[in-house]
Chains A and B, each alone.
Chain A
């Protein structure tokens, strides 16, 4: 469903972040993206929904060429691509429910949304999603009153409001402790298995990759170094991804 051909991103004509990367993602897959910090994982994910404009290459999604889509088409594309961020990216002064409802902005009538009017069905859906991630009782609190783990669950609920076909998760657990990390990963797994949402998730820890991902791709300095099942990452592959001096932990 998602095909990436020769994707390249060069920042300001100088810094090469993603270098001629091609891969495919099948429907319903849980794909992990691994690599060191600065290896281009975030850039790669953001090129897919064009939060960052790729320099060259092509991204095909359900036979739509994302790279050449117009603004109106992008609106329709983006609302089907959910996104979860490392730092949650919630609007901290807004209520939790408003943050979750903002996932519907690509669907509802823009004029009404400007005065903060959401259809009743959307509000019910938001409460359902919050219930699903176990924080329905926090719906009317301010987002910054929640703990880190709770905030990331709001982030997941917001992505789910888009009724996405795919979720791009940019190191969703990197700022959480190991216990919370597993709980968030389990929510993503549930969405993947129960709702059939394709998941593209960048991760730091290999044990998480082994536990949750069907397939992994690895980036090193913007280049694709590996593409295959996580168990195929042996020591040689590991060094090519993380460098010669790297040691395996966890």
Chain B
């Protein structure tokens, strides 16, 4: 029995080894492993040429001076007697042996009194003015050189043509080459590309990470009525918010058609002042719950007005920044880019505001829907709740179906409202109906888990696409350059960091959370007072790590058109200019190593 078992085991082991060998054999086959190529002489010389070029980065250039030394040559030898060439031996001179020869023949060129230890080309100066390089010279310490050169195959000429030696030497101090200068420009671009991508990616990843944290989301449950009403509320709010923002935008555009600087300054100041006053009135410093509910309707109206006013004010400020920034570019001179920055910020504000307002509107109405649902389930009879549930859930299903249908329509251009709108809405409504009939009206729906899984799925999908691939889409959108690169890197940073962050949130100590919740703190307060203090150190650490990755990533994102040094590197590799490529590689190595060091220092300090 025992022996049989061990026999089976050894046979199994042997088979496993055989199987492993087959796998690796197939691997060799697919990856076309061929060690013969590594020994071929031609490839080895190519390799050494490239390696040597890489070892000589063209960082510096010298100003050069040349010494022109010439001697006559007859090609081919004429029938008549050749005049003897008598050079002035006190200066540099050339001796050719022989001084006449046929095309393609080899002659010896000797130079005397040349600058010692210099290099340079040996040229053949044809009668027609054509200048051919036929060899190189390298003088010794005494200023002597000897070289064998092959004469060119040219039309026979009777008179003497010239052999010229051009020894060159460096004068003055070395200067940075053009390659070094452009590499410097691009490496700066690269570092800032990584900086912007990391900053914006981090800022957006932090809120997202809370939605992807299991321990924060798992406790969020609400009844079907709440979920249905807020599902209806969200898209409605988004639509209203978007419309409001766009209306205000066109209103602001009309308002600032002329005298834009003065009008928008006055508008901004007025707007800020008014909003501030209203907020002060709304939220006095020591205010308790009871006096809040006293004039709830009044408060609701003022809050809404206040929100609308702030939207208009932000438009005014954005317009002001846009115009002011543009106006500042000239007078600021060398730091004119600050003006451009201000103006771009204004532009971003104008661009982002409709989206923000839409989200705000969606959030508000979603919350209102939630409250309405809560009110209904708290105050109505079970029968009434059941009926409300069926209607609301069917409607919510239809809304979701309609949205999905619209998305599909956008991608696949169905151009058929029957398929794109009515059918999905009907399916959604039926599904909603089924859900409302299946689930008891009191049953809490783990809406937090749903949010958690949806967020996780989106993050994982986004993270699995490399920024090098993402940048292709962004290049089409915003054109080739570092802007496309930073957008792609930022997007990938959001996805990757949000996942890492959320795992940190999941691993915090639950005790303080419980303690802060027990004091009556609301959800946001709990996050600010119990979650955030615990996650600051790992967040800093992960942000530094990501900054590291982004610097490395930004060096190659230029391969796909994303700007930065990668663009130069790829160009030089394609042009076979390995000495220039070497400069860029060197720059990348220095920057990555420096960033690595700096991030290590910062991590040590904060964590």
Q: Say if the beta carbon of B522 comes within 8 Å of chain A.
A: yes
Known contacts A93-B534, A162-B520: A110-B515 contact under CB 8 Å: no
Q: Say if the beta carbon of B518 comes within 8 Å of chain A.
A: yes
Tell me, rounded to whole Å, the shortest Cβ–Cβ distance linking B270 to chain A: 23
**B514 engages A89 (CB within 8 Å):** yes
**A114 engages B528 (CB within 8 Å):** yes
**B286 engages A119 (CB within 8 Å):** yes
Tell me, rounded to whole Å, the shortest Cβ–Cβ distance linking A172 to chain B: 12
**A121 engages B518 (CB within 8 Å):** no
**Which residues of A lie under 8 Å from residue B287 when comparing CB positions?**
109
**B530 engages A91 (CB within 8 Å):** yes
**B533 engages A112 (CB within 8 Å):** no
Residues of chain B at interface, number, CB under 8 A: 29
A residues 199-241 near B (Cβ < 8 Å) are: none
What per-residue 1/0 map shows which CB atoms of A43-82 lie under 8 Å from chain B?
0000001010000000000000000001010111111011
5 tightest Cβ-Cβ pairs between the two chains A and B: A106-B520, A79-B520, A89-B511, A105-B521, A89-B515
**Which residues of B lie under 8 Å from residue A78 when comparing CB positions?**
517-520
**Which residues of A lie under 8 Å from residue B285 when comparing CB positions?**
109, 112, 119
Q: Say if the beta carbon of B536 comes within 8 Å of chain A.
A: yes
Interface centre among A77, A111, A155 (most CB of B within 10 A): A111
**Which residues of A lie under 8 Å from residue B529 when comparing CB positions?**
91, 94, 98, 102, 105, 113
25 contacting pairs across A/B (C-beta < 8 A): A51-B518, A74-B520, A77-B520, A78-B517, A83-B519, A89-B511, A89-B514, A90-B512, A91-B512, A91-B534, A92-B509, A92-B512, A98-B529, A102-B515, A102-B530, A103-B519, A106-B521, A110-B524, A113-B525, A113-B528, A113-B529, A114-B524, A158-B515, A161-B519, A162-B519
**B517 engages A158 (CB within 8 Å):** no
**B528 engages A83 (CB within 8 Å):** no
**Which residues of A lie under 8 Å from residue B288 when comparing CB positions?**
107
Interface centre among B378, B509, B521 (most CB of A within 10 A): B521
Q: Which residue of A lies closest to B523 (CB)?
A: A71
**Which residues of A lie under 8 Å from residue B521 when comparing CB positions?**
102, 105-106
Q: Say if the beta carbon of A128 comes within 8 Å of chain B.
A: no
**A51 engages B514 (CB within 8 Å):** yes
The size class of the interface chain A forms with chain B is 35 or more
Tell me, rounded to whole Å, the shortest Cβ–Cβ distance linking A222 to chain B: 21
Q: Say if the beta carbon of A182 comes within 8 Å of chain B.
A: no
Known contacts A89-B514, A91-B529, A121-B286: A105-B524 contact under CB 8 Å: no
Q: Say if the beta carbon of A5 comes within 8 Å of chain B.
A: no
**B519 engages A51 (CB within 8 Å):** no
Q: Say if the beta carbon of B283 comes within 8 Å of chain A.
A: yes
**Known contacts A51-B517, A105-B525; can you find 11 more A-B pairs with CB under 8 A?**
A85-B514, A89-B511, A89-B514, A91-B530, A93-B536, A94-B533, A102-B529, A110-B524, A111-B283, A121-B286, A158-B515
What per-residue 1/0 map shows which CB atoms of B500-521 lie under 8 Å from chain A?
0000000001011011111111
Q: Say if the beta carbon of B289 comes within 8 Å of chain A.
A: yes
Q: Which residue of A lies closest to B536 (CB)?
A: A93
**A114 engages B378 (CB within 8 Å):** no
**Which residues of A lie under 8 Å from residue B344 when comparing CB positions?**
none
**Which residues of B lie under 8 Å from residue A119 when comparing CB positions?**
285-286
**Which residues of A lie under 8 Å from residue B283 when comparing CB positions?**
109, 111-112
Query: In the bound complex, how far is the Cα of B511 from the Cα of A78, in angstroms?
Result: 17
**Which residues of B lie under 8 Å from residue A49 when comparing CB positions?**
518
**A106 engages B533 (CB within 8 Å):** no
